[in-house]
């Protein structure tokens, strides 16, 4: 199932996306998408609604240096345990919303990632049971002010600006994330081209590790790391990140 959050003619709702292309429609879900969906009977053509960020997480937990080649391109070692950091909920935006390039930074990078959306409250969940905690998977762009990341020595400011966490276009609940193609393009030019099988710390391990530190709530989102090929984006450019089995997340870059 593809779960989305949309602005429709009567307001905002969670929906299930059915069909593809011009024939795609969205079916309204009552209340929330967790557990068995309860449909209201309302539906609209996908073309008549606006896709929003598919979830508004209480927190976004990102994982650094989780592809060996990405660690190497910046001269870093691969950490023995997952390296986690937080992005604020206010950094989340949906498809086609502009990434605002702050005046405080002279280099803002894209980072295409597979993201995991949690479906139920969990704490200290073993890796073997991690799948039970997952609602589904979406696409993320861990936008980073690279110069501030280097100068600050910690990543809170560099990763935390408003609009620095695009998510979407929807949450796919029925894919195997272990070996998916992931590709990032800037203005149509391929910059990242890898597979999730190259993740150093796999998704079950990430959920076990993160949930040993903090309680994960429904909707919380884990960004699993970015492969090699990250680079800067400039005012007027467009970033598109595609993950096999999910779709494509596209956002323009705009000077703040």
Cis, bond preceding 169 (omega within 30 deg of 0):
yes
Which of 190, 177, 196, 191 is CA-nearest to residue 245? 177
For residue 85, pLDDT over 90 is answered with: yes
Burial of 239 (0-12, 13-18, 19+ CB in 10 A): buried
- Mean of pLDDT over the chain: 97
Quote the CA–CA distance of 113 and 116 in Å, as a whole number: 10
Positive or negative, the Cα torsion across 81, 77, 105, 254? negative
pTM of the model: 0.98
For residue 106, pLDDT over 90 is answered with: yes
Task: Tell me which DSSP letter residue 48 carries.
Answer: G
Half-sphere exposure of 235 (CA within 13 A, CB side): 8
- What pLDDT, on a 0 to 100 scale, did the predictor assign at position 76? 87
For residue 78, pLDDT over 90 is answered with: no
In the chain, where does DSSP find H-type helix? 68-73, 146-152, 156-160, 203-213
Over residues 131-174, the pLDDT tens digits come to 999 999 999 999 999 999 999 999 999 999 999 999 999 999 99
Long-range pairs, 13-20, Cβ under 8 A, ≥24: 15/49, 17/46, 17/170, 19/46
């Amino acid at each position: 199932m593809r779960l989305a959050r949309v602005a429709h003619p009567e307001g905002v709702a969670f929906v299930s996306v059915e069909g593809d292309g011009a024939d795609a429609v969205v079916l309204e879900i009552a209340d929330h998408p967790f557990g068995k969906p309860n449909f209201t009977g309302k539906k609209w053509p996908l073309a008549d609604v606006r896709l929003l960020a598919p979830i508004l997480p209480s927190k976004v937990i990102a994982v650094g240096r989780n592809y060996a080649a990405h660690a190497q391109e910046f001269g870093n070692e691969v950490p023995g345990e997952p390296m986690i950091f937080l992005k604020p909920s206010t950094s989340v935006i949906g498809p086609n919303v502009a990434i605002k390039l702050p005046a405080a930074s002279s280099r803002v990078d894209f980072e295409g990632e597979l993201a995991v959306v949690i479906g139920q409250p969990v704490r200290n969940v073993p890796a073997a049971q991690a799948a039970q905690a997952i609602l589904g998977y979406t696409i993320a762009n861990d936008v980073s002010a690279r110069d501030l990341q280097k100068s600050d020595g910690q990543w809170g400011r560099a990763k935390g600006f408003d609009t620095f966490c695009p998510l979407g276009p929807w949450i796919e609940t029925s894919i195997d994330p272990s070996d998916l193609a992931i590709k990032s393009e800037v203005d149509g030019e391929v910059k990242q081209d890898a597979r999730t099988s190259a993740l150093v710390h796999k998704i079950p391990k990430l959920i076990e590790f993160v949930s040993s530190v903090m309680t994960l709530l429904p909707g919380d989102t884990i960004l699993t790391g970015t492969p090699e090929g990250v680079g800067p984006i400039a005012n007027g450019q467009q970033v598109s990140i595609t993950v096999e089995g999910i779709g494509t997340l596209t956002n323009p870059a705009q000077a703040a």
